Amino acid sequence: MSLDANEAELIRTFVRQLTTKYDRRYWLECTSQGKALDELWRELGRAGYLGVTVPEQYGGSGLSMSRLTILVEELANHGLPTFFIVISTAMGSVAIAKHGTEEQKRRYLTTMADGSEKFCFAITEPDAGSNSFRVRTLARRDGDNYVINGQKVFISGVDQADHMLLVARTTPADQVKDKREGMSLFIVDTKAAGLTMHRMDTRVVMPEGQFEVFFEDVRIPRGNLVGEEGKGLKAIFDALNPERISASAMATGVGRYALGKAVEYAKIRTVFNTPIGAHQGLAHPMAVAKTRLELASLMAHKAAEIFDEGGDAGMYANMAKYAAAEAAIDAVDIAMQVHGGSGFTGETDIITLWPIARLLRTAPVSREMILSYIAQHVLGLPRSY
């Protein structure tokens, strides 16, 4: 069932009011100081908006990707792309709500809903990027515990997170007949003994840094296994579609924010006695960018609706992710062109948006993997990998 228009507008209105207090300057200040968006996060939690993907019995408002998509998009519309909502609210709470034990749901969903705890997600490894089946981090059963050894890379915000959802093998890849077998999902305390992290030298301006994470005999109880041992692929994939949908919403919001700045500048910047926005060389690319953003937004909301109805949202989530990332890049690019040289200064705050928009073409799933998925699963073409 699609989200009621009045409820959708309530979410947007709340975010607009919130951004008068926590605006783009707040986002930039936190980022420059290496601080988390804690004040914004706490207000979202107090207002109940971090519980939009948490069932009501655990303190949320029901598992609704439609609500979350509006929330993420509206925050980004105002220059506040917040990756932790994608990681913790979209991925973490959905995976636990769908596959966690009753004890896990009571323990973690309630704190995720009120914002008092955050989750990060750890799947990527140096030799396992797009090919997640090649993960080598191993969780070995030892009595009532698992002992974890391995390495992860590009783990967003692990230094700010209380827990991580960790993808690890419980059976090495060379010991399974089907590469999809032997993968499991675990909840790991980010302060666990034997877990160390090192910030990676990435140059994307955002509050959530990227980290290498090392596991050296990290011991966790068997009760931290999410779902069935060796059958974790279903739980993992159930978290990936929400990630792609919410990342799409973020991308369209970033694009809208950049384009909005370009439009305002094009109205007042005058060259040869004419506002530059009157010239079709700039007006038409801005019009195309706006059209692409709105088309991508529609697909993201369609994907969220299909997910909420219990349907297979894979096609829609992947198409939305592809369309939104491309549209965001186009929007930021034309915004830089409209601003000319000033688009490369910190004062106009355009160049800071470029790495985020460009990142969203590559992550959380690359453009090429999405197109391969569409070719195989939608068009029925032979598998390429």
Per-position DSSP letters for 303-359, written without gaps between them: HHHHHHTTS--HHHHHHHHHHHHHHHHHHHHHHHHHHGGGGGSTTTT-GGGHHHHHH
Segment 297-322, tens digit of pLDDT: 999 999 999 999 999 999 999 999 99
Rounded to an integer, what distance in angstroms lies between the CA atom of residue 101 and that of residue 98? 9
Instruction: Kindly report the backbone phi and psi dihedral angles of residue 216, in degrees, each rounded to the nearest multiple of 5, phi listed first.
Output: -125, 100
What would you measure as the largest C-alpha separation in the chain, in angstroms?
79
CATH topology assigned to domain 5-118: Butyryl-Coa Dehydrogenase, subunit A; domain 1 (1.10.540)
Q: What is the reported pTM?
A: 0.94
> In the chain, helix, strand, coil percent, each to 5?
55, 15, 30
What homologous superfamily does CATH list for 121-230? Butyryl-CoA Dehydrogenase, subunit A, domain 2 (2.40.110.10)
* Tens-digit pLDDT string for the chain (385 aa): 467 788 899 999 999 999 999 999 999 999 999 899 999 999 999 999 999 999 999 999 888 999 999 999 999 999 999 999 998 888 999 999 999 999 999 999 999 999 999 999 999 999 877 777 788 999 999 999 999 999 999 999 999 999 999 999 999 988 988 888 899 999 999 999 999 999 999 989 899 999 999 999 999 999 999 999 999 888 888 888 999 999 999 999 999 999 999 999 999 999 999 999 999 999 999 999 999 999 999 999 999 999 999 999 999 999 999 999 999 999 999 999 999 999 999 999 999 999 999 999 999 999 999 999 999 999 999 998 7
Q: Which residues are catalytic?
A: 243
Could you tell me whether strands 225-226 and 163-169 are parallel, antiparallel, or unpaired per DSSP bridges? Answer: unpaired
CB atoms within 10 A of CB 246: 33
Q: Which segments of the chain are extended strands (E)?
A: 119-122, 138-142, 145-156, 163-169, 183-189, 195-199, 210-221, 225-226, 270-271, 274-275
What sections of 216-279 are H helices per DSSP? 233-268
Rounded to an integer, what distance in angstroms lies between the CA atom of residue 246 and that of residue 339? 29
Could you tell me whether strands 138-142 and 225-226 are parallel, antiparallel, or unpaired per DSSP bridges? Answer: unpaired
| pLDDT of 2 | 60
Ordered by start, the domain boundaries in the chain are 5-118, 121-230, 234-378
What homologous superfamily does CATH list for 234-378? Butyryl-CoA Dehydrogenase, subunit A, domain 3 (1.20.140.10)
